[in-house]
Amino acid sequence: MKRILARNAPGYLFLSPWLLGFFLLALGPILASLYLSFTRYDMVSDPRWIGWGNYEYMFTRDRRFWKALEVTFTYVAFAVPLRLAFALAVAMLLDKGLKTIGLYRAIFYLPSLLGASIAIAILWRELFSATGVVNQMLALVGIEGTDWITNPKTSIYTLVMLAVWQFGSPMLIFLAGLRGIPKDLYEAAEIDGTPRWRRFTRITLPLLAPVIFFNLVLQTIDAFKTFSSAFIISNGTGAPADSLLFFTVYLFNEAFKFFRMGYASALAWVLLIIIGVFTALAFLSSKYWVHYDNDRD
């Protein structure tokens, strides 16, 4: 008994802050959130059990819930592939034939660090406003722009642009991945006269698959969680006409504006399940398109 204690004590001692955090800040709240999602709770009176009531209302009667899903999925569907495509294209340009990539790398990465800030969200609002820079540039080539932010048809794409502007962090991960591809493969293919496109689809893509997979999972989860920029650009409400009603913005308003904590918890669980399903799908599908190095030798 003493020996077991002596063997385990140091490990658990060092782990204790995290363990405490895990139970108090992660596991506990998740279970509490699950419980609350089956209640009506306004923080004034105690939570009242209403069974599946929240979920039933959500799926059958709540139009804004469906709108929030639509907005969020549209955003994910455009922002993630565009950002990854940009990141990969620029990473490939930087990877080959250039000696001084440090400065480019820094310039392309900087927006990823700044992009989450309120300052940039404010800037974005003004860039795409009716009298903003974007419209002035379009006017130079004779196109009359709209008020991109207050037009419900275009508002979501300003946020997609903001996401693409931050392609730097997946780019860095792609760069590291490209470094790992043996250069002699390309040389051999070039001598054989393999066209550039085939070199890309037959060498780069398959060998980079694990990195693409990693980036895809990470960026998708991140995109579903988008909050600050959408909150600032839509004045905290999801306006105009709910076209920026991101799932997280809707959840925030239900919880902290209307104090419908039970309903907001149900929304949180739906978000958790959506992210869980997407992560699981990525992992399940990965066996068909991601092959790790070790199955080669």
Considering CB under 8 A, how many residues would be counted as binding other proteins?
79
| Choice from 71, 79, 84, 90 touching other proteins (CB under 8 A) | 90
CB of 105 to other proteins, least distance (A): 9
Report residue 106 as tokens.
Answer: 């820094």
Residue 77 binds other proteins, judged by CB under 8 A: no
Of the listed pieces 28-36, 63-71, 73-81, 144-152, which binds other proteins according to CB under 8 A? Answer: 28-36
Residue 142 binds other proteins, judged by CB under 8 A: no
Residue 118 binds other proteins, judged by CB under 8 A: yes
Of the listed pieces 13-21, 73-81, 147-155, 190-198, which binds other proteins according to CB under 8 A? Answer: 13-21
| Choice from 69, 209, 272, 282 touching other proteins (CB under 8 A) | 272
Q: How far apart are CA 36 and CA 54, in angstroms?
A: 10
Of the listed pieces 5-13, 194-202, 206-214, 286-294, which binds other proteins according to CB under 8 A? Answer: 5-13
Report residue 150 as tokens.
Answer: 């207050």
The mark string for 163-192 relative to other proteins (x by CB under 8 A, - otherwise) is --x-------------x-------------
Residue 15 binds other proteins, judged by CB under 8 A: yes
| Choice from 227, 237, 239, 240 touching other proteins (CB under 8 A) | 227
| Choice from 170, 269, 286, 290 touching other proteins (CB under 8 A) | 269
Residue 285 binds other proteins, judged by CB under 8 A: no
β-pair partners for 49: 39
CA distances from 43 to 209, 264, 265, 267 (A): 48, 12, 13, 17
Residue 12 binds other proteins, judged by CB under 8 A: yes
Assess whether the previous peptide bond of 206 is cis (omega < 30° from 0).
Answer: no
Q: How far apart are CA 112 and CA 129, in angstroms?
A: 23
CA dihedral in degrees (268, 272, 273, 275; nearest 10)?
Answer: 130
- CB neighbour list of residue 129: distance below 8 Å, 6 or more residues apart: 135, 147, 148, 149
| Choice from 85, 137, 241, 277 touching other proteins (CB under 8 A) | 137
| Choice from 241, 276, 277, 283 touching other proteins (CB under 8 A) | 276
